[in-house]
Amino acid sequence: MLARFLKALIAVVVGNAIYFLLLMPLLPPAGRHAIARLDFGLLIDFWVCLLAYGVIELIVKVRRSRH
């Protein structure tokens, strides 16, 4: 359970860093997340975090299969 929590935490931190530092400045205003609002930018941020979680899971599975 702790491993799953750590993977999720890393995915959220990495996903938010990618979204806020790399993607958000390049997006049109409709794709930028405004603080404390439900908007399209929040959905994009969620998908980036979900993608980061998938990459982390893939890395873990590949490392386990090699051992």
The pTM score is: 0.89
User: What's the pLDDT band for 67 if we cut at 50, 70, 90?
Assistant: confident
Q: Per residue in 51-65, pLDDT tens?
A: 999 999 999 999 999
Instruction: Check pLDDT > 90 for residue 42.
Output: yes
Q: What percent of the chain has pLDDT over 90?
A: 87
* The two three-digit tokens of residue 28, written as one number: 């049109």
Instruction: Check pLDDT > 90 for residue 35.
Output: no
* Distance (Å, whole) CA 31 – CA 1: 34
Instruction: Check pLDDT > 90 for residue 44.
Output: yes
Secondary structure, 3-state, the chain: CHHHHHHHHHHHHHHHHHHHHHHHHHCCHHHCCCCCCCCHHHHHHHHHHHHHHHHHHHHHHHHHHHC
